[in-house]
Structure 1
Amino acid sequence: MHYRTDYSPAHLSEAPQVLHLGELRLHYQAYAHRSHDPRPPVLLLGGAFQSFRSFASEVSELLEHHPVILLDLPSQGGNLQLAPQLSLEQLADLIAVFADELQLPALMPIGLSYGSALAALFAARHPTRCARVLLAGITAFGRPGARLLLQEGLALLAEGRTEAFAHGALTGLLNPLRLQQTGVAPVFRKALLRQIQRLSAADIERYRQNSQRLLDFPGFATHPSCPTLVLAGEYDHFTQPWEHAHFAAACTDASCALIHNADHLAQFEQREACTNLYRPFLRGEALPSRSPGSSLLAKQQLLQLDKRHEPRLPPSQRQARLQHADGGEWSVDISELGFFGGLLHADLPQTTDLRGWQLLCKDLPAQPLLALRQNENGLAFVFPHSDQQASQALATQFQSQPLPTAACA
């Protein structure tokens, strides 16, 4: 591997190097202080809506102690090549081929959101090629509610409802009830919303293929055996803290830390708190028992975190109406209600139709909902937050109530 030694954030916008593997193209940039550096390189793998430019600060920070490689596999980041034939596992295997082709030493991947699944699979399937791995926003997508929301996003895109998709996706990334704690500036939130709203047809197809890979993924047959650090934003509703902790518990040698006052974008919202952990971890040093802005979970805590991520309480007005797009309407009793979902009781027909429902509550606009499961306990549902006005009204109602500390904190 020949590294560039002239790193500047401006270079991240330049055309990448390309490794051709048959018809597949892998885009990368590689930096170090020495053009030939034998040390294990950090490999950055981003999530949806991220590009090399997203990691300008990280590269500057990491280069002090490590070579750094940014990699976009087909359909990732700035790599526009579509590869619908490749599964999540096959994409992860491409990382090993990339390392072999460029004769790299064992890698140290940092995987964020979608990239975390690729990094974790690479570490699990190619243990000799991975020295250690850092994961944030781990997307195993075994939780039924998360899968339902991902499927709803794909359905909205298929219907051409990009505005509705954008509002739902943004709510998953940035928890609206915790904006004050996470410090997300309104200008950043608006910029991210515009970015999602303006996805091109090619971007949408790449998102669709990547999301379908996650939905098709059967789960981890094996977990990383190398040293592993899992970072969870304490207010992350999209990939919840207990899911991070369960993943860490399944690994051979893993630590899990809660990043306080952060949600799914923890590494950007609380950069210093994350840096204080990944800096010693990547150098092979012991993690600090106490670190500003985070809490390291004890081993015995990993399988004990509360899976209820938000309070679900009886609303002040329990009586409401439930409508379906086919014209049906029923009186319902809401026994639990939260910003992200709830539980209601009604004399409903058994149905497999998860979409097309609206909840009509007093003093609130009609709330689109997705039916999660229906049994003797009632109808459990999640809000897709695809209607901006309805979502904002619901957020305002919950923001007027005191929010408890996150169940996992």
Structure 2
Amino acid sequence: MRYQTNYNPTQLNSSYQTLMIGQWRLHYLAYSRASHDPRPPVLFIGGAFQTFRSFSHEVSELLVDHPVILLDLPSQGSNLQLAGELDLEDLADLIAGFISELNLPAVMPVGLSYGSALAALFACRHPNKCQRLLLSGVAAFGRPGARMLLEESLQALEHGDFSSFAQGVVNGLINPLRTQQTGISPTFQKVMLRQLQRLSNSEIQRYKQNSQRLLDFHGFDSHPQCPTLILAGEYDHFTQPWEHAHFAAACANAEFAIIQGADHLAQIERRPSCNQLYLPFLQSIPLPMQCPGATRVQPSELLQLERRQELRTLPLHHQVCLHQVDGHSWPAQLLEVGFFGGVLRCDDIQNLPARGWQLDIQALGPLGILFIHQSTEGAAFIFTHCEAQASQALAHYLQCTEQNRRALTYAHERHAPSPAKSTGANPNL
């Protein structure tokens, strides 16, 4: 490997080197302070649509102590080569091939979002080529709701409904209830929405292929054995903190931290909080016990994290109606509801299809839902959030529901008789 020694962030916008492994084209950039550097490099493997310039800050910081390599596999980042026949395991093996072709020492991958699955699989399948591993936004996709929403986005693309597709993806990656805490601006959301609505045919094919790889992935048969650091955004509802924690618990030697005030892309949204953890980790220095902006979770607590991120409440209107795409309707009873989903009950609900539903709540317009669990006791569902106005109306409805509940609680407490003060006398006299 011959490293470039003239790093400048502007180079990340358009330049890259190419390595062919069989028919597959890999794009990469490699930097160090010396053209020949025997030290283990940090290897960045980003999300499906993240480009090299997403890591300009990280490259500048890490070059002080490490060689740094940025890698785009087929259908990832700025690499436009389609590779529908490759699964996640095949792509992980391409990472190993890249290391062998360039005669690199064991690397330290940093995998984010979609790239986290590739980096983790690489570490499992090629442990002798992986020295340390850092993951954020772990996309294992074992959660039924996440899988159904991903399938829903593919169906929207198949039907040419780019508006619903884009809105659903944005509301999946960005927690719309927590933008004040995460600092994700409306402008950023609009830009992201517009980009998704205007994907080229090639980009649509890439999205379909990358999504299908995740859906076809049946889970990890083994977990990384090397030292591993896993970071999760506090408000990430796409790849949730408890999922990260369960993955960490299955690793042989993992440390886990929740980044406060962050969403799915914690390492970009809260760089200082992440830096204080991953910079020492990559240098094999013990992590600080107290980390401003981050909460380290001890191994004994990894499997005890709360799974539900949102408040569920009793609805203001219990009697609702379910509408199917074929025009049929069913009366139902709404038992509890939150922004991301709820629980309802109706006759024969366990035999109804899981998809193609709209939930009609009094004072709200129709809301798209998917059933994720059905039994004789009722059905748990998730909202698809494919329509911006409907999502906003639901958020307002829940806010009013909570305010109403608090007002009723206050009124009850105010008019309740005060408990008698104890005087030590016999109360029967």
After TM superposition, give the deviation of residue 6 of structure 1 in Å.
1.2
* TM-score, length basis structure 1: 0.96
SS of the residue 1:311 aligns to = coil
Q: Distance in 2 between matches of 1:292 and 1:98?
A: 37
After TM superposition, give the deviation of residue 239 of structure 1 in Å.
0.6
Instruction: Choose 374-383 or 389-398, whichever is displaced more.
Output: 389-398
Structure showing greater radius of gyration is: 2
Aligned to 1:353: 353
- Structure 1 counterpart of 2:200, which letter? S
Aligned to 1:405: none
Q: Percent identity?
A: 59
After TM superposition, give the deviation of residue 122 of structure 1 in Å.
0.5
SS of the residue 2:187 aligns to = helix
After TM superposition, give the deviation of residue 354 of structure 1 in Å.
2.5
Aligned to 1:407: none
Q: Distance in 2 between matches of 1:349 and 1:302?
A: 35
Aligned to 2:86: 86
Aligned to 1:258: 258
Q: Is structure 2 residue 42 aligned with structure 1 residue 42? A: yes
Aligned to 2:33: 33
Q: Distance in 2 between matches of 1:248 and 1:71?
A: 24
- Contact 2:16 2:27 (8 Å CA) reproduced: yes
Q: Distance in 1 between matches of 2:274 and 2:377?
A: 41
- Contact 1:368 1:384 (8 Å CA) reproduced: yes
Q: Distance in 2 between matches of 1:237 and 1:5?
A: 40
- Contact 1:177 1:398 (8 Å CA) reproduced: no
- Structure 2 counterpart of 1:286, which letter? P
After TM superposition, give the deviation of residue 198 of structure 1 in Å.
1.6
- Structure 2 counterpart of 1:377, which letter? E
Q: Distance in 1 between matches of 2:207 and 2:42?
A: 25
After TM superposition, give the deviation of residue 53 of structure 1 in Å.
1.5
Q: Distance in 2 between matches of 1:190 and 1:341?
A: 24
After TM superposition, give the deviation of residue 352 of structure 1 in Å.
5.7
Aligned to 2:376: 376
- Structure 2 counterpart of 1:278, which letter? Y
Instruction: Choose 162-171 or 46-55, whichever is displaced more.
Output: 46-55
SS of the residue 2:6 aligns to = coil
Q: Is structure 2 residue 14 aligned with structure 1 residue 14? A: yes
Q: Distance in 2 between matches of 1:74 and 1:124?
A: 21
- Contact 1:365 1:389 (8 Å CA) reproduced: no
* TM-score, length basis structure 2: 0.91
After TM superposition, give the deviation of residue 348 of structure 1 in Å.
3.8
Aligned to 2:284: 284
- Is the alpha carbon distance of 1:276 and 1:349 closer, same or farther for their aligned partners in structure 2, counting shifts above 3 Å? closer
Q: Distance in 1 between matches of 2:390 and 2:132?
A: 44
Aligned to 1:159: 159
After TM superposition, give the deviation of residue 89 of structure 1 in Å.
0.5
Instruction: Choose 55-64 or 67-76, whichever is displaced more.
Output: 55-64
Q: Is structure 2 residue 115 aligned with structure 1 residue 136? A: no
After TM superposition, give the deviation of residue 24 of structure 1 in Å.
0.7
- Is the alpha carbon distance of 1:316 and 1:223 closer, same or farther for their aligned partners in structure 2, counting shifts above 3 Å? same
- Contact 2:153 2:168 (8 Å CA) reproduced: yes
- Contact 1:136 1:230 (8 Å CA) reproduced: yes
Which blocks of at least 5 consecutive residues in structure 2 are unaligned? 404-429
Aligned to 2:149: 149
Q: Distance in 2 between matches of 1:362 and 1:349?
A: 21
After TM superposition, give the deviation of residue 173 of structure 1 in Å.
1.0
- Is the alpha carbon distance of 1:10 and 1:398 closer, same or farther for their aligned partners in structure 2, counting shifts above 3 Å? farther
